[in-house]
């Protein structure tokens, strides 16, 4: 899907002029850079916060994936949807589980991010955290009800994925906490 097509869809199907498209590119640039001050001014003037780019990435997806806590906080406070998946079916929570941004994971969860949102291959944020050895995020997701027994399209669980990926801390945590309640670790 082209950026013009995505932008046209966001504007009710009407094609956008080059100046508007350039403006949208600038907004996505501000988010990627974490420029919360300039973005806040646009939001205060009524800019919608659920725009998506040509890959289906929302503003909150890009802010969180790039590790911009304040920008993520700003967007969520303005009503950004933490559960919008991109064109590949990835959610912001799965992205931060992959990248290891603990504070942003907590923020997304506080704003209603689904712990069970999964990609087309069936991987949940819990599985992503396990695969990439993100123990703190595993604990957060577990406290929010993430299913340990969920399987991806290949029949792999978080524990088997952690083991396959060599994520030793995550694998150990999964074994250690299997039968015991999870204490708040973050």
Report whether pLDDT(2) > 70: no
Domain count, the chain: 2
Q: 92 near 128, Cβ under 8 Å?
A: no
- Indicate whether 177 and 109 sit together in one domain: yes
Quick one: average pLDDT of 41-47? 94
Query: CATH number for the domain including 18?
Result: 1.25.40.20
Residues 6+ apart with CB under 8 A from 135: 129, 169, 170, 173, 185
Domain limits at 54? 1-81
Say which range, 6-20, 34-48, 61-75, has the weakest mean pLDDT.
6-20
Closest CA to 94 of 55, 74, 75, 120: 120
Residue-wise pLDDT tens digits, 50-59: 989 888 999 9
With cut-offs at 50, 70 and 90, classify the pLDDT of residue 162: very high
Residue-wise pLDDT tens digits, 74-132: 999 999 999 999 999 999 999 999 999 999 999 999 999 999 877 889 999 999 999 99
- Indicate whether 60 and 134 sit together in one domain: no
Residue where one domain finishes, among candidates 81, 116, 147:
81
């Amino acid at each position: 899907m082209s950026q013009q097509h995505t932008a046209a869809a966001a504007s009710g199907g009407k094609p956008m002029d080059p100046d508007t498209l350039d403006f949208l590119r600038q907004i996505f640039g501000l988010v990627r850079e974490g420029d919360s001050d300039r973005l806040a001014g646009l939001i205060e003037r009524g800019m919608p916060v659920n725009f998506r780019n040509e890959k289906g990435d929302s503003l909150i997806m890009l802010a969180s994936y790039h590790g911009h806590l304040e920008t993520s906080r700003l967007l969520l406070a303005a009503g950004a949807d933490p559960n919008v998946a991109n064109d590949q079916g990835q959610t912001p929570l799965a992205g931060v589980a992959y990248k290891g941004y603990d504070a942003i994971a907590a923020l997304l969860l506080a704003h209603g991010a689904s712990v069970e949102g999964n990609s087309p291959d069936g991987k949940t944020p819990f599985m992503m955290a396990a695969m990439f050895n993100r123990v703190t995020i595993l604990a957060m997701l577990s406290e929010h009800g993430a299913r340990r027994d969920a399987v991806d399209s290949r029949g792999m669980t978080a524990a088997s994925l952690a083991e396959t990926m060599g994520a030793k801390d995550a694998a150990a945590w999964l074994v250690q906490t299997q039968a015991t309640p999870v204490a708040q670790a973050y």
